[in-house]
């Protein structure tokens, strides 16, 4: 193969067609996308074949959030092909596509909006240049549309497939001209998601669907006491069951926590599950069998008296002499919660000599195939080049599948079995073993000057450390910025601010949960803003806007929400409305929740008005889907039982005692999207943090009852 700069041209060895793989190293993928070199196969974003077939690679795993459409849409818009013309392919952590093959932090669009458009625009320019040379005309007289290059004066055209050979000889431009948004055909328009027909017809393949020849199944018994370790086990009764092939000890690594369980390997999953019940295991619980959530909550309340590590400071809250009647203090509490993706954890692994092959649903393909210090190879003892991944659709991630513990565990089983083995977690395993969103308490203080201006605000977070749970090198003497995220990013203009963090010891595996710690600290922060508004005898919306005298995205969002929600229109008797907003790493969203207070003292959530600021939007329909999903998840975390521990064990087991929100409980949701340019923000997570505080504030407006602890029971207010 001859050397070709900035893209690779490959002839199909069967001779049936010519194929051009097109990629570009852009700012968003800098140092991630390898430039092609002699003799190396390059797997980029666009594949054009001489027979007319066009494929676009989606580098962001699809877990229901819509990247199967939105990522190819960014490329297709500028490449001038419709989504109906292309085949969309999921990537598998191929090294040529770099370590950006992951989905989390609402980053898929906000970090790649412009750069992936450049990929499509560069490819389009190559084909226009190729066509103009073939016709011997000025490239400025040609344009691309629906996979063709057209010569405007004569209406002659070539398909992209007919231009593959000529295009292969051209350099991809580094800074292609991008389309004016007014000319968009795909971006910003409602569009049908191509993955939906696959999912509704059963054709989509999720990790749990994977079948490979000679595959065995495994079910793993893990210590029910969090923090316990394996002492010994007796597998005689389990091995007597027909179909049981092997019983082995297997290690799982979740963050800094290493545990060993006992895996039963059998010819069917049912056999493995039933044989697992016959195991006789002795665990060493190391004293953790005495741990319970009630005592831990008391410990957190006690820690609220500590100064904590300073995080964000403005002015000096300590030097203010505020009158007691002008100050307010409150403690807010949120529980641990489980992720509960509807597709349980699963992974198929096969080990053959020095090579391992993996089939799974994961949010982080790059972590599985990468060569970084925290990537999979470091934990399983295989060279990165010897790890092959087959990524599938994901039946829910919510941050749970950012972790690779279940993949490490499956590989460790496969090392001890000569055939491929599928490890499947039960719903009970998923609920009881974690990781969990950490229990988070917040102590807040606020104070007004004598003329009624809010001049002091303190937010102290008391919680275990997320980073300490996932990083062995975490410095305990420093603030865990994850645990105080968003607090310092609020646009409220308060002259004296102080944010601090009090770390609490913990031994329970923790993980990022959709919108991470913003799902807890926003509840405290925005509810307390309402409490301050009440103390100041001001309307909650007015109070917030008075704290936003300068132009800001937050001010613009709240002003729009005021009109959109008809905030100033009085509600009927027994009704109340509440407002909340939150800006953090993922984006900015504000909500108004309306509730009804019934004679039986229960509360019904009637409606939610949402304004989300995106800067730019790919598919408005999908944005609304994501907001609705966030609200459903936020409602569940607010009003359904959380995760508690007793005798060292998780007390919840399945949906019967750790339930999700049912469809009849979901309120009506109206969404307004602000996409007027500016900074591109995320979608998947920003819709979650404002809901719980807006709901609690609405309940106060309707009932006069202030809620400072989640979960709360809507039926018993």
Strand partners, 578: 593
Distance in angstroms (rounded) separating the CA atoms of residues 193 and 83: 9
- Looking at the fold, whether 517 and 626 belong to one and the same domain comes out as yes
Model confidence pLDDT, tens digit, residues 594-618:
999 999 999 999 999 999 999 999 9
> DSSP 3-state assignment of 641?
coil
Which domain CATH number covers 350? 3.30.365.10
The verdict on 262 and 223 lying in the same domain is yes
Q: Per-residue pLDDT tens for 653-694? A: 999 999 999 999 999 999 999 999 999 999 999 999 999 999
pLDDT for position 9: 32
Same domain, 70 and 146: yes
Region 692-706: what's the mean pLDDT? 98
* Residue recorded with tokens 């412009």: 114
Residue 712 is assigned to a structural domain of this protein: no
Give the residue, 424 or 2, on which the prediction is more confident: 424
Secondary structure class of 123 (helix, strand, coil): helix
Residue 714 included in any domain: no
Domain end residue (candidates: 424, 457, 488) = 424
d(CA 554, CA 493): 11
Give me the phi and psi of 280, to 5 degrees please: -115, 110
- Same domain? For 115 and 240 the reply is no
Q: Is residue 60 part of a domain?
A: yes
Together in a domain, 97 and 50: yes
Average pLDDT on 60-81 reads 97
682 and 618 assigned to the same domain: yes
Residue 137 lies in a domain: yes
The predicted pLDDT at position 692 comes to 98
Same domain, 414 and 448: no
Q: Are residues 166 and 265 in the same domain?
A: no
Asked whether residue 429 is assigned to any structural domain, the reply reads no
- Which tens digit of pLDDT belongs to each residue from 106-140? 999 999 999 999 999 999 999 999 999 999 999 99
Q: Is 711 domain-assigned?
A: no
Helices (H), 485-574: 518-535, 540-546, 553-564
- Neighbour tally for 445: CB within 10 Å: 17
pTM recorded for the entire structure: 0.94
Domain stops at, among 201, 222, 244: 201
Report the C-alpha gap between 29 and 76 in whole angstroms: 18
Residue that is written with structure tokens 């391992």 in the block? 356
Give Cα 364 to chain centroid, integer Å.
Answer: 11
* Helices of type H across 608-679: 620-639
User: Are residue 282 and residue 301 in the same domain, yes or no?
Assistant: no
Q: Mind listing the pLDDT tens digit for each residue in 364-393?
A: 999 999 999 999 999 999 999 999 999 999
Tell which of 135, 166, 201 closes a domain: 201
Domain that holds residue 168: 7-201
Whether 585 and 597 have beta carbons less than 8 Å apart is answered as no
Q: Is residue 594 part of a domain?
A: yes
- Do 308 and 360 belong to one domain? no
CA distance 291 to 543: 43
Q: Which two tokens stand for residue 393?
A: 């659709």
Claim to verify: residue 643 and residue 611 sit in the same structural domain: yes
Looking at the structure of the chain, the number of domains it has is 3
Asked whether 265 and 484 are in contact (CB, 8 A), the reply is: no
Cβ-based neighbour number of residue 620 at 10 Å: 16
Same domain, 497 and 612: yes
Rounded to an integer, the average pLDDT of 291-318 is 96
Cα angle 8, 116, 61 (rounded to 5 degrees) comes to 90
* pLDDT averaged over every residue in the chain: 93
Q: Is residue 323 part of a domain?
A: yes
């Amino acid at each position: 193969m001859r050397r070709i700069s900035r893209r690779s041209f490959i002839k199909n060895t069967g001779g049936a067609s010519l194929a051009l793989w097109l990629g570009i190293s852009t700012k968003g993928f800098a140092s991630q996308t390898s430039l092609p070199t002699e003799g190396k196969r390059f797997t980029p974003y666009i594949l054009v074949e001489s027979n007319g077939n066009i494929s676009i690679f989606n580098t962001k795993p699809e877990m229901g959030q819509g990247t199967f459409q939105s990522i190819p849409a960014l490329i297709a818009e500028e490449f001038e092909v419709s989504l109906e013309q292309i085949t969309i392919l999921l990537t598998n952590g191929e090294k040529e596509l770099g370590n950006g093959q992951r989905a989390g932090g609402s980053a898929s669009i906000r970090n790649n909006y412009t750069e992936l458009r450049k990929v499509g625009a560069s490819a389009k320019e190559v084909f226009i240049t190729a066509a103009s040379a073939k016709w011997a005309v000025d490239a400025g007289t040609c344009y691309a549309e629906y996979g063709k290059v057209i010569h405007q004066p004569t209406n002659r055209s070539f398909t992209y497939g007919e231009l593959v050979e000529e295009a292969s000889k051209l350099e991809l431009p580094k800074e292609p001209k991008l389309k004016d948004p007014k000319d968009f055909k795909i971006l910003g328009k409602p569009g049908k998601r191509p993955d939906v027909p696959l999912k509704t017809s059963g054709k989509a393949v999720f990790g749990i669907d994977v079948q490979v020849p000679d595959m065995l199944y495994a079910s793993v018994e893990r210590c029910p006491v969090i923090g316990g370790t394996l002492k010994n086990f007796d597998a005689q009764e389990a091995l007597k069951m027909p179909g049981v092939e092997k019983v082995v000890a297997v290690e799982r690594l979740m963050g800094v926590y290493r545990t060993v369980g006992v895996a039963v390997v059998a010819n069917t999953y049912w056999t493995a599950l039933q044989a697992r019940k016959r195991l006789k295991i002795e665990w060493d619980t190391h004293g953790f069998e005495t741990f319970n959530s009630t005592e831990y909550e008391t410990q957190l309340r006690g820690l609220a008296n500590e100064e904590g590590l300073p995080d964000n400071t403005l002015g000096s809250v300590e030097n203010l002499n505020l009158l007691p009647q002008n100050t307010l203090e409150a403690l807010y509490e949120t529980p641990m919660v489980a992720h509960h993706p509807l597709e349980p954890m699963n992974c198929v692994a096969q080990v053959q000599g020095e090579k391992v092959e993996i089939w799974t649903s994961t949010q982080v393909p790059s972590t599985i195939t990468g060569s970084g210090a925290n990537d999979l190879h470091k934990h399983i003892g295989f060279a990165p080049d010897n790890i092959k991944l087959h990524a599938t659709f994901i039946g829910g991630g919510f941050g749970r599948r950012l972790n690779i513990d279940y993949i490490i565990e499956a590989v460790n089983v496969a090392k001890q079995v000569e055939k491929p083995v599928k490890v499947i977690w039960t719903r009970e395993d998923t609920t009881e073993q974690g990781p969990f969103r950490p229990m988070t308490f917040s102590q807040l203080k606020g104070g007004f000057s004598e003329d009624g201006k809010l001049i002091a605000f303190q937010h102290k977070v008391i919680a275990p450390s997320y980073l300490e749970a996932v990083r062995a090198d975490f410095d305990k003497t420093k603030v865990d910025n994850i645990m105080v995220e968003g607090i310092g990013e609020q646009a409220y203009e308060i002259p004296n601010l102080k944010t601090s963090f009090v770390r609490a010891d913990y031994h329970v595996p923790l993980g990022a949960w959709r919108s991470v710690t913003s799902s807890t600290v926003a509840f405290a922060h925005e509810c307390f803003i309402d409490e301050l508004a009440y103390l100041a005898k001001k309307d909650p919306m007015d109070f917030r806007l008075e704290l936003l005298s300068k132009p800001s995205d937050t001010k613009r969002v709240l002003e729009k929400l005021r009109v959109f929600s008809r905030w100033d229109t009085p509600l009927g008797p027994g009704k109340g409305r509440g407002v909340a907003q939150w800006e953090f790493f993922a984006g900015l969203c504000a909500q108004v929740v309306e509730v009804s207070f019934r004679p039986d003292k229960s509360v019904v959530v009637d409606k939610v008005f949402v304004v989300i600021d995106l800067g730019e939007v790919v598919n408005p329909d999908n944005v609304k889907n994501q907001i609705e999903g966030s609200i459903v998840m936020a409602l569940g975390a607010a009003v359904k039982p959380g995760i508690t521990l007793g005798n060292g064990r998780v007390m919840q087991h399945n949906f019967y005692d750790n339930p999700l929100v049912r469809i009849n409980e979901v309120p009506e949701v109206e969404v307004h999207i602000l996409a007027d340019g500016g900074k591109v923000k995320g979608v998947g997570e920003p819709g979650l943090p404002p809901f719980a505080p807006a709901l609690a504030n609405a309940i106060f407006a309707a009932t006069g009852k202030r809620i400072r602890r989640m979960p709360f029971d809507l039926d018993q207010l």
